[in-house]
Amino acid sequence: MRAFSYEKPGTLAEAAAAGAREGAKYIAGGTNLIDLMKLEIETPAHLVDVNGLGLDRIEETAAGGLRIGALVRNTDLAADPRVRRDYALLTRALVAGASGQLRNKATTAGNLLQRTRCAYFYDTNMPCNKRAPGSGCAALEGISRQLGVVGTSEACIATHPSDMAVALRALDAEIETMRADGVARSIPIGEFYRTPGETPEIETVLGAGELITGVTLPAPLGGAQLYHKARDRASYAFALVSVGLVLREDGTGRIALGGVAPMPWRVEAAEAELGEGAAAACEMLFAGARPTEQNAFKLPLAERALAALLAEARS
Amino acid sequence: MPSDFETIPRETGAADGAPPRSEVSLTINGRDWSGVIDNRVTLLDLLREEIGLTGSKKGCDHGQCGACTVIVNGRRVNACLSFAVMHQGDAVTTIEGVGRPDALDPLQAAFVAHDGYQCGYCTPGQICSAKAVLEEIAAGVPSHVTRDLEAPIATTAEEIRERMSGNICRCGAYANILAAISEVAEGAR
């Protein structure tokens, strides 16, 4: 691991200033960043520990929703009585991810910002446009069973690994940040992640030093809220395909997918097809999909997972 | 600063251009430890290499196996995925603090009684994890197999299996690990 200097600021303004330094990176739970630092895929010269900023509360908003602090641990978010009652999809997605140990450390903001688990991103002996821009993509001709089928590019077919983000996408979360100049802004999660295009190393719209301070959920949607995660073992594995579903009594709802794209994948137009069934919705969700021979199974798998959830929601 | 532990001596390497170091104080198994460490030292390496508490094991060193599981401020975490400098003021419990050979924790006794290990390498992590699992269920923290998110959670075999999935046993002693944890859960009821 490369050496780094360390500081733990006590105020947001100090953190934002420190985070703007050349080579600086924020650290919260560290469960993904430390892993990547050991492999020297991430090589920050300076770590800014944000655990002292008091961003660890879940508060009710005037609009009837919840504001989740950036540092709320995945365990605490999943277990919060308001989340379990009103945003069950979020609890179900959270507890489908990682292990109990990791969820105790992992934070809301860190979960959003975790890097892909593409094996070629992790293998520093192989080309990877995300890790080493311009070096090529070993996954395109390599083992791509786990990788993306939609929203990908010629430069990168990596997926975003988060379960939590799939639920937040379906629930229309907004991501609150503070920029290095101290200006706050709110970014709808649908505009937060970037498709890889020619620059897969740029994953979000965050600017240099911009710090996530919280995530806001709108008022509860109600309805049945279900999450299905298909994976190679029953627990503690990344998704091949995951489906988050909200189905309300009037037949309207939300669908978001994980494990298929460089971001939690949602196509709002597909939700108008919910009454027509899973096949019609998936046709729109996977419009323009470019699966490889090895991961083309993800399309029928997602459709069947959605069909199963729709049947469960209506029963 | 006084430490209750005798730190393993090593060269300080404090020459110019040396990697940045920080001072950290924390409590381990109820005893205070203070020292100056390289910022890159993980909590696991602090415990094993600096302090000599070798009960916590290094399996994968990437948070995938759970052999390094310790309890920090009452919550189980992977000690390998945590920088020691970030644990200023924390209270850490390792397997050495869970029980001693002459005063076993009920979980330790149950692992012996049910033969919940073969080589034993994963066992300290399994036991630290299991202690926290029973508390998490009692506190109502839901899991992937919890069907009703608002009802109290029963300590079923299914719940224990799911919650212990972050602790891998290469020997495959899972059936006996489950029996040991179930017995202690049963006794707690």
Distances (CA, A) of A132 to A42, A127, A137, A138: 11, 7, 10, 12
The domain B4-97 is placed in CATH, from the list 3.10.20.30, 3.40.50.300, 3.40.50.2000, 1.10.260.40, at 3.10.20.30
pLDDT at B13: 45
By CA distance, what is A97's nearest residue in B?
A: B144
Assess whether pLDDT exceeds 50 at residue B11: no
Q: What are A27-70's pLDDT values in tens digits?
A: 999 999 999 999 999 999 999 999 999 999 999 999 999 999 99
Question: B142–A78: do the CB atoms touch at under 8 Å?
Answer: yes
Q: Are B177 and B126 in contact (CB under 8 A)?
A: yes
**Nearest residue of B to residue A226, measured between CA atoms:** B147
Q: Which of B164, B136, B163, B168 is nearest to B67 (CA)?
A: B168
Contact at 8 Å (CB) between B67 and B57?
Answer: yes
Q: Where are the domains of chain B?
A: 4-97, 106-188
Please tell me the predicted confidence (pLDDT) of residue B189. 66
pLDDT of residue B109: 98
Size of chain B in residues: 189
Residue B15 pLDDT grade (very low, low, confident, very high; cuts 50, 70, 90): low
What fold is seen in the domain B106-188?
DNA polymerase; domain 1 (1.10.150)
Tens digit of each residue's pLDDT (9 = 90 or more) over A199-212 = 999 999 999 999 99
- Report the top-level CATH class of A5-51: alpha beta
Q: Where are the alpha helices (DSSP H) in chain A?
A: 12-19, 33-38, 74-79, 81-86, 88-96, 100-105, 108-112, 119-122, 164-170, 278-285, 298-314
Q: CA angle at residue A86 from A279 to A164, to 5 degrees?
A: 60
The identity of residue A211, as a single letter, is L
Are A240 and A298 contacting, i.e. CB atoms less than 8 angstroms apart? yes
Average pLDDT of chain A, as a whole number: 97
pLDDT, tens digit, for every residue of A121-166? 999 999 999 999 999 999 999 999 999 999 999 999 999 999 999 9
Percent of chain A whose pLDDT exceeds 70: 100
What is the end-to-end Cα distance of chain A in Å, rounded? Answer: 53
**DSSP labels, A151-190:** S--SS-------SHHHHHHHTT-EEEEE-TTS-EEEEEGG
Residue that is written with structure tokens 């073992």 in the block = A233
Nearest to B63 among A81, A85, A102 (CB): A102
Collect all residues of chain A within an 8 Å Cβ-Cβ radius of residue B85: 6
Total beta-carbon pairs less than 8 A apart between chain A and chain B: 106
Tell me whether strands B91-93 and B21-28 are parallel, antiparallel or unpaired: parallel
ipTM for the predicted complex: 0.96
On the question of pLDDT at A82 being above 50, the answer is yes
CATH topology assigned to domain A224-314: Enolase-like; domain 1 (3.30.390)
Q: Which residues in B have their CB inside 8 Å of a CB on A?
A: 19-20, 22, 38-40, 42, 61-63, 66, 69, 75-78, 81-83, 85-86, 88, 129, 132-133, 136, 139-144, 146, 149-150, 161-163, 165-167
On the 0-12 / 13-18 / 19+ scale of CB atoms within 10 A, A30 is: buried
Residue position matching structure tokens 């205070």: B32
Q: Measured between CA atoms, how close is B62 to chain A, in angstroms?
A: 6
The continuous run of DSSP H or E covering B77 comes out as strand B75-78
B37 vs A22, A30, B44, CA distance in Å? 24, 18, 13
b/e map B33-60, b = 16+ CB within 10 Å? bebebbbbbbbbbbbbbbbebebbbbbe
Evaluate whether B129 touches B166 at the Cβ level (below 8 Å).
yes
Helix (H, G, I), strand (E, B), or coil: what is residue A9?
coil
- CATH 3.30.390.50, chain A: domain bounds: 224-314
Residue A212 near residue A27 (C-beta atoms within 8 A): no
Of B20, B161, B166, the CB nearest to A99: B166
Using CA atoms, how far residue A201 sits from A30, A193, A194, B46, B183, in Å, is 20, 12, 10, 33, 50
Q: Do A3 and B62 touch (CB under 8 A)?
A: no
Q: Where are the beta strands (DSSP E) in A179-247?
A: 184-188, 211-217, 224-230, 241-247
A236: nearest CB among B62, B76, B166:
B166
Confidence of residue B188 (pLDDT cuts 50, 70, 90): confident
Strand order in the sheet with A253-258: A224-230, A241-247, A253-258
Dihedral angle over CA of B153, B156, B162, B166, nearest 10 = 100
| pLDDT for position B17 | 76
* Predicted local distance difference test score (pLDDT) of residue B1: 52
Distances (CA, A) of A34 to A25, A40, A105, A282: 11, 9, 12, 37
Q: Which of B67, B73, B68 is nearest to B86 (CA)?
A: B73
Minimal CA separation from A221 to chain B, in Å: 17
Please tell me which residue of chain A has the smallest CA distance to B137. A79
Q: What span, in angstroms and rounded, lies between the C-alpha atoms of A85 and A222?
A: 9
